[in-house]
Amino acid sequence: MVEEQRAWSSRRVSVAEAVIVAVIAAAVAATQQIREAAEQLAAEQAQWAATSERLEKLVDEIENALREDSGELIHGHLHTGRRGAAPRRRAGNVLKATWG
């Protein structure tokens, strides 16, 4: 009877060990998936940040070009020195140069 109890206890321990190993393996797999997702999100965030910086620079360039054109119109001349001439399309040129 003692031998049977030892064998039964030994099987219970083996089953418990197998369950623990399975739970740990599942936790490791889940942790790896979370890490991969976090790395992907970080890469996407970096791309968004770079795009945001490019857009901010473009907006600044466009604002500066528009401000220069407005100043020229207020003073009644352009860089060409001709009074009353139509303003150049600097803002459009900035966009063409940046976006192709």
Q: How does DSSP classify residue 1?
A: -
Contact 73, 44 (CB under 8 A): no
Rounded Cα–Cα distance for residues 94 and 55 (Å): 12
Q: How does DSSP classify residue 68?
A: H
In sequence order, the β-bridge partners of residue 83 are 77
Give the 3-state secondary structure of residue 62: helix
Per-residue pLDDT of the chain (100 residues; tens, 9 = 90+): 778 887 788 888 899 999 999 999 999 999 999 999 999 999 999 999 999 999 999 999 999 999 887 776 666 655 554 444 444 455 555 555 555 5
- In the chain, domain spans: 2-99
pTM over 0.85: no
